Structure 1
């Protein structure tokens, strides 16, 4: 009797902090503070945050955490989605970037697939909900604020981790008062909220750190700011 053929599945590699991890298809691959890929010993990070599994020949990325969401993008900023706790999505691009924050630390990793499921993202999307938001125009001072918050993440040459500065530190970096910085931050967050970006509103139970983290996560994932924008900080040398 002929042996039953093995399930066909695309190979998948997770890249994080300069290391590449080949994901076996025969079992669940867990990512978090503990698991197959240990991201960081960060008490704000779930022990098991994301999992990768094969189903019907496709890889699926699932958020098995209870508090943290992730932003997933094809890398061009044209296609992106918010992966909330309990949600999952298929890995249908040759390269998929995953960004998320825990405490004041931002993390990003990249999924590399060669299974031939790549989808053409097409032209930049118009502003119709959080998963299809196009470019949002920022004033020079608003862009400078976002770059100052995202500086450590943008300076990374490979996927890994970056610290998000406090509002006081970012204001000091730019030579602004904390009051002026906070007012501009409110304006930027309000502008993005009107375009459908979630998670930027403060209030009871909402830490200021979470708002800054979400702003950086969205801005980097959608290429609202890029490494080229770091030149804006040249007039503000580090003290």
Structure 2
């Protein structure tokens, strides 16, 4: 498939089924069942106008104009690892490079590719750079070895492979035993250890008071999904 050439400042929106459009700075586009960019034409649960992509002073924004559906903005660029939730009425800046807007009705899951073209990179210095070496080191630096990364990747795999799926697709302990070739005891021990490690590193949601073993497994899966591209590079 040949994609149009993008110039700095432009944005490409692609529904992956043959419909795509390039916007120039200053332009705006709505997406939905009865919008500029059609989505879910035969899906009655799709909002007539759901998302709007627009430019403000050189920054591409996305707004949820729906009333009940949320979207997940998932960066796909090489150096972007986190995702953002876009609830009804909310607006977010779109990341540079390629990302995906993922959302679902009871009929199906949608994934729209969005590419923001830019050649700019963050500056290496700047105000305050000279003070970094004087500040205390950040508490809770997290360095994982391969045996710690492997279960995180396995937990996140179905969520990354099928964006928009819910936590019911997270591998069970038995699934992890088969995927990793580990015993049940080793899988459970590793889940407990990783949860404690992340909690001690300041990652929210992993305190000792938070839930039972299944809850820790699901929380680890969500963390791994949000950090999946970073985990792929870590070992």
TM-score range, shorter chain: 0.5 to 0.7
Which of the numbers 140, 146, 151 marks the counterpart of 1:145?
151
Deviations 1:107-165 (A, max 9, x none): 97642123x4x541467xx9xxxxxxx983113321121222234567x6xx9678643
Shift of 1:225: 2.0
Determine the structure 1 residue equivalent to 2:182. 176
Distance of aligned partners of 1:26 and 1:165 in 2 relative to their CA distance in 1, 3 Å threshold: same
Determine the structure 2 residue equivalent to 1:111. 114
Determine the structure 1 residue equivalent to 2:21. 22
Deviations 1:184-220 (A, max 9, x none): 123323433444544567539x966752541232221
Determine the structure 2 residue equivalent to 1:56. 56
Q: Is the 8 A contact 2:75 2:99 kept in 1?
A: yes
CA distance in 2, matches of 1:144, 1:210: 16
Q: Is the 8 A contact 1:189 1:200 kept in 2?
A: yes
Matches within 5 A, 1:163-202: 164-198=170-204, 202=210
Distance of aligned partners of 1:200 and 1:76 in 2 relative to their CA distance in 1, 3 Å threshold: farther
TM-score normalised per structure 1 = 0.53
Which of the numbers 204, 214, 231 marks the counterpart of 1:224?
231
Q: Is the 8 A contact 1:71 1:217 kept in 2?
A: no
Determine the structure 1 residue equivalent to 2:4. none
Structure 1: gaps spanning 5 or more residues:
1-8, 127-133, 230-239
Partner-residue secondary structure (3-state), 1:13? strand
Partner-residue secondary structure (3-state), 2:54? strand
Partner-residue secondary structure (3-state), 1:225? helix
CA distance in 2, matches of 1:209, 1:109: 29
Determine the structure 1 residue equivalent to 2:121. 120
Determine the structure 2 residue equivalent to 1:12. 11
CA distance in 1, matches of 2:10, 2:99: 16
Which of the numbers 81, 89, 93 marks the counterpart of 1:90?
93
TM-score normalised per structure 2 = 0.54
CA distance in 2, matches of 1:198, 1:107: 29
Determine the structure 1 residue equivalent to 2:128. none
Partner-residue secondary structure (3-state), 1:171? helix
Query: Number of matched residues?
Result: 191
CA distance in 2, matches of 1:56, 1:200: 38
Structure 2: gaps spanning 5 or more residues:
1-7, 125-131, 133-139
Rg (Cα) greater in structure: 2
Distance of aligned partners of 1:29 and 1:148 in 2 relative to their CA distance in 1, 3 Å threshold: same
Distance of aligned partners of 1:98 and 1:92 in 2 relative to their CA distance in 1, 3 Å threshold: closer
Distance of aligned partners of 1:208 and 1:195 in 2 relative to their CA distance in 1, 3 Å threshold: closer
RMSD between aligned alpha carbons?
Answer: 4.9
Partner-residue secondary structure (3-state), 2:98? strand
Shift of 1:169: 1.0
Distance of aligned partners of 1:185 and 1:209 in 2 relative to their CA distance in 1, 3 Å threshold: closer
